[in-house]
């Protein structure tokens, strides 16, 4: 399974970058509370910290998305960068599982575990095996 579509890793990275920027990074950066409401989070009365963390996460996600575009054009960097993506996806799965077990997140966030799991499997399938450094 790992690397079965590795020859298409650049296209996968481009699609991932576009989708991540549109669906996740830019909305959280620009309208974090709109994004939160869409995912059924309640917004606290004292919202400054939530707004700050939302913008921080959106900013980091935008940088990751921009570098995903860049790495799509740099085959030698793809294995390393895809390992970063794998780490991000594993972390997101674990964070969402913890939130589900603690019952501190809306159902939409628990369902999102499947989304991160699909991204993890796809990243493994598109992993560029032939480009590994010695």
22-39 per-position pLDDT tens digit: 999 999 999 999 999 999
Q: Are 51 and 33 in contact (CB under 8 A)?
A: yes
Question: Residue 62 is inside which H or E element, if any?
Answer: helix 48-72
Q: What is the pTM of this model?
A: 0.89
Above 80 in pLDDT, residue 131?
A: no
Integer Cα distance of 107 and 44 in angstroms: 18
Integer Cα distance of 71 and 16 in angstroms: 12
């Amino acid at each position: 399974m790992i690397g079965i579509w590795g020859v298409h890793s650049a296209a996968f990275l481009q699609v991932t970058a576009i989708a991540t920027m549109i669906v996740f990074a830019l909305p959280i950066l620009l309208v974090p509370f709109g994004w939160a409401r869409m995912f059924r989070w309640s917004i606290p009365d004292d919202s400054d910290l939530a707004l700050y963390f939302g913008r921080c996460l959106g900013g980091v996600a935008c940088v990751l998305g921009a570098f995903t575009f860049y790495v799509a054009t740099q085959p030698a960097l793809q294995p390393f960068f895809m390992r970063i993506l794998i780490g991000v996806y594993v972390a997101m799965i674990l964070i969402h599982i913890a939130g589900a077990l603690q019952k501190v997140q809306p159902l939409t966030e628990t369902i999102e575990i499947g989304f991160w799991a699909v991204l993890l499997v796809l990243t493994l399938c598109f992993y560029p095996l032939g480009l590994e450094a010695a």
